[in-house]
Every structure is written in structure tokens, then in C-alpha cells.
Structure 1
Amino acid sequence: MHRKKDKQADVMDKDTAGREVSIPSTEQFLIRSKENRQYKILLGIPDVPPPPSGFPVIYFLDANAIFGTMFEAVRIQSRRPERTGIVPALVVGIGYHIEKPFSPERYYDFTLTPPASELYSRREGTDRPEYGGAEQFLQFIDGELKPLIESRFKIDKDRQAIFGHSLGGLFVLQTLFTKPYAFNTYIAGSPSIHWNKSLLLDAEQKFISSLENDKHHIRLLITVGELEKFHKSGMNANAKELAERLLRLGQNNFHVEFKEFEDEGHVSVLPALINRAVRFALSEKQGP
């Protein structure tokens, strides 16, 4: 057994041993917003020329945690659009200048207010994070990041999606209800509606009132993991109730879908959610 290990070591290329794995067709850069907040942007770039209309784009939050999963889901499924129905797209992950999957800064960027309930509990020995920066964060995405991306790549402005999970899902819903023109497709995974349910409900009612005279076509996917029904926040019930209210509207310009992933929890649901999000955002044959 020892000889076998030695032989394996002998054939290993010492010049390449220990190098970090990189993902082809990707790049990253740091950017500082007008509000003096720093973000790490991770790009997944199609390896084919853009169509005449430009590339669809998926903007997504928590890129430190899910960039690889999102980019590979798009890259693999869009290799044969004639078979998968998934077209090549630019993926734009918004993260932070850290090595860990999640940054405390997301509490500020993804929320409009402090939590309205006591469901949030910080870990012992950690500082209480800041809240309430969602408006400024959306302004950064819509007014600074999107123009930068559009200056570098040919983009289909009629096919731009935003994806978020948990607090990121809450941010997606807040964006939809307060600035629906910012994107065409909204994907809210396990949204933290409980964070400030009454505030979100008020924004929802104003959004609904504006739909009747709005010709802008919007698509929304809300998802949860089946096992999240055991969470004290009522995450599944809140998400289902919201989806049912929006589905009852029957608006031709507003397409809504709801999906509960069987036997998945708040974190384990992410790969399945990302796969479904890619199909929802990039399918050649989208719902009405």
C-alpha cells in the first residue's frame, strides 16, 4: 500500500500541485458604491456570441455562497438550447470581500427596517448587525452595477432577472413591490417575509393597485423547502399565502409560480432552487 502511494506521488505534476481550482469563463472585481460600500462582483460569461437581442442576465445575491452552483447550472444547461430549452446567459453575482459564504453586511443591504419580531437572534459574542439599507442597495444594483454591466456586454434589457434566497428572497419581493420595472423576472427563494410582514404587505397592496394600468410584463417565482414548515417563522405558510394572493389576481401581465421542494430544508434546498430558477429565467418557452 505504501508503494502505491509513492508511485502516485511520483506521477503528480509538482508544478501544478496545490493550485486552486478556477472556473473557466468567469471573472471577479471589487466595486465601491456611491454610498461607499464595497462589493465583490463575480461574473459568469457565456462562451458563445450574444444573440441579436443580447444576452439575458441573472443578477443574484449571496454570490460568495452560490456563484459556482449558479454559473455551472447555467453553463451546463445552456450548452444545447435546442434540447434543454435553456439559452446562454450572463450571470452576475453580488457578494462581499470576504472568504466566508455569508457576510453580516447582508442584513443591512437586504432589509428596509429592523426585524419586527423577536425571531432574529444573533449568535453569542457577535455584534448586532445594521439594518435598513435595501433602498440604497437597490439603487447600487439598478443605477450603478447594471449600467456598468451593460457597458461591457450586449444585454437583452427585456430579460433581466434577480434571484435571492432567505433575506435575499425578502429583498427580491421588496424590489418587485417597490420598483417592479427594475427587472422582468423575480425569483424569491424561502423569502423571510416574517422579518417585517406588515411593511411588505403594505408594499404588496400598492404594487397590486398599479398592475391594472401597467403593460410591463413581470414573472415571479416563489419557492420554499418542504422541511421549512417546521421553522418558527412560518416561512412556508407566509410564502404560500403570498403566492395564492398573487395568483388570484389573474393579471395577464403578471405570471406567478409557486414551488415547494420535497424533503429539503432552508439550506439544502439551494441546489434544487437554483436549478429551477435557471429554467424559470432562461427557458425559451416562458409562461404568459
Structure 2
Amino acid sequence: MPSREVVRQSFTLPNTEQYLLHSTTREQPYQIYVFKPSQEAPPEGFSVIYLLDANALFATMVEAMRVQSRVPEKTGVYPAVVVGIGYPTEEPFDSSRFYDFTMPTPKEVLDALPVRNKDAVRPQVGGADAFRAFIEIELKPRIERNYSINTKQQAVFGHSLGGLFVLQTLFTQPHTFQTYIAGSPSVHWNKAMLREQEDQYTSNLQQGQIHHKLLITIGELEKNHPSNMSENAKELYERLALLPNEKLDAHFYEFEGEGHVSVLPALVSRAVRFLRRG
């Protein structure tokens, strides 16, 4: 007996929506993805995690959140809103990330960076401040109007250049989030400038009352990366770990057997657990 014809339908993740948001801070449309837990929001609202490179990572994070938050007393993962920030493309990554995630960088510094293809045209860079303003001034208020959000439990997640953006945000605008997750951060991009920002943050931290959580991760197989990514990440963590724990609760994790890209699913899983840590 022949099989009955089936009706094919597009697959969508439960409790998610997406829309195009045109930024007024710069001429760039962003594809915004939002996941809302099916559980009832606590009185203070849901925790929220803002996810960079959402075209590549939103589905992974949503499934990690949905599965693990079913039994939070066992997993340590509590329901949270996931806000993915991506671009209007079908590709996992868009070249606009080079502009959005990086600080202004002198040509001589750019020329010294390791490149995969010397003949390729270098994307525009240096727009991290504008991107951060978009998140803070345009995106966050929209999310907080439409969802029950605990503004005292906000996290940001970024990997590679996204990890660099996370660190820049912690060092220069620490009030923006309470939890910072930087996977395989591209510290080498403008190492001198990032160190200046770190030193200023460290100095300011001694005077303020704010408390942050930070997770820096790396893949074991990134030790041979031409950017010295693994060494840079470890050195940064070791300096930050010396700060008072009540000011900055810093953690470091190396994923065994994982490289720069293969590490992503494991990193996402650890990130959703870290969100409510401490």
C-alpha cells in the first residue's frame, strides 16, 4: 500500500518570533529573534540573555534553554528570555559583525592581524559603540515593553569577535549587563586598546558598588590559533581573577577536544547554566 501524501510545512521553534528592526543609530537593519519561556514569569520578571551572531546560534540556545529549564532544580537552568541579534541573511554569519563588534582600530594594527585570505577586501570595522547604543537605546526598551523582564538579571553572550564586544562592554559600559559571557574572545584584535579599557575598568571597580559575573571560555584546540587566542584569554582571566570576588565573579573554562567553531554547542549549554549562577 503506497504511503499517503504528507503536507510539508516549515519548521519553527516553539514560543519564538522574529522581526526586522531598523536602527536609528546607524543605517543597518537587524534581524531580531526572541524566545519566551512557556512557564509563568516570576514576580520580578524573567532573566534575559542577549545573544550575538543569532543567525548561527539562536536555535541552539533556545533548545538548550527549553530542555534544561524543564527541571531547574536538577540542571541549574532557570527559564529565561533569549533575545538574538542577527542580520537579514540566510547565512550563519554576516560581514556586518566586523563593524558592530569591533572598536576603532588603526590601519597599522589591522595590517598586523592574522588573515585567512590576503587578497580579500577587509570589512569595515570600528562600530562597537554605535552597536552598543542600538542595544541599550532601541532594542532593550522594546523587549522590556513586550516581555516581563528582570532588568537586574541581564546577560550578554558573544563568541570570537562577539566575545571581544562582550569584554569591551564590560570594561567601558559595565552597567549595561550584570552577566558577561565571552567565548574565545578576539583579544588580539586591538590588544593594547582593550588593555587600556581593562585598566580603567579595574580602577573604576574599586570605587563602585556594582557586581558583575564574567565567564571566559576557550576551546582546547585553539592553542595553535595564529592569534594566540587561548593564551590571551587565559592571561586576561588570570588578571581579572585577582579582583575582589564581590566586585567581579570571574570564571574560566577550557572545552576539551573543541576548536574555534566546534566549541559553540558546548559553550551555549554552559552559558545558559551560568546565567543564574551565584
Q: TM range, normalised to the smaller chain? A: over 0.9
**What residue number does 1:238 align with?**
232
**What residue number does 1:21 align with?**
11
Which of the pair has more CA radius of gyration?
1
Which residue, 197, 205, 210 being the options, matches 2:204? 210
Structure 1 counterpart of 2:72, one-letter code: P
**What residue number does 1:3 align with?**
none
**What residue number does 2:271 align with?**
277
TM-score, normalised by the number of residues in structure 1: 0.92
Query: What do residues 177-205 of structure 1 show as CA deviations (whole Å, max 9, x unaligned)?
Result: 00000000000000000000000000000
RMSD over aligned Cα, in angstroms? Answer: 1.4
Structure 1 counterpart of 2:86, one-letter code: G
Q: The residue matched to 1:195 in structure 2 has which SS?
A: helix
Assess if the C-alpha contact under 8 Å between 2:218 and 2:230 holds in 1: yes
Summarize the alignment of residues 114-193 of structure 1 with structure 2, pairs less than 5 Å apart: 114=105, 116-117=109-110, 118-121=112-115, 123=117, 126-193=120-187
Identity of aligned residues (%): 53
Measure how far apart 1:212 and its partner are: 1.1
4+ aligned runs moved over 6 Å, structure 1: none
Q: Runs of 5+ in structure 1 lacking a partner?
A: 1-6
Measure how far apart 1:83 and its partner are: 2.3
Give the distance between the partners of 1:44 and 1:188, measured in 2 at CA.
Answer: 21
Give the distance between the partners of 2:140 and 2:49, measured in 1 at CA.
Answer: 11
**What residue number does 2:260 align with?**
266
Structure 2 counterpart of 1:11, one-letter code: S
Assess if the C-alpha contact under 8 Å between 1:161 and 1:185 holds in 2: yes
Query: What do residues 57-80 of structure 1 show as CA deviations (whole Å, max 9, x unaligned)?
Result: 000100000111001001111111
Q: Runs of 5+ in structure 2 lacking a partner?
A: none
Structure 2 counterpart of 1:159, one-letter code: Q
Query: What do residues 5-40 of structure 1 show as CA deviations (whole Å, max 9, x unaligned)?
Result: xx5xx33443x23x3221111110000111221100
Measure how far apart 1:84 and its partner are: 1.8
Give the distance between the partners of 1:73 and 1:144, measured in 2 at CA.
Answer: 27
**What residue number does 2:67 align with?**
76
**What residue number does 1:57 align with?**
48
Assess if the C-alpha contact under 8 Å between 2:35 and 2:82 holds in 1: yes
Assess if the C-alpha contact under 8 Å between 2:180 and 2:213 holds in 1: yes
TM-score, normalised by the number of residues in structure 2: 0.95
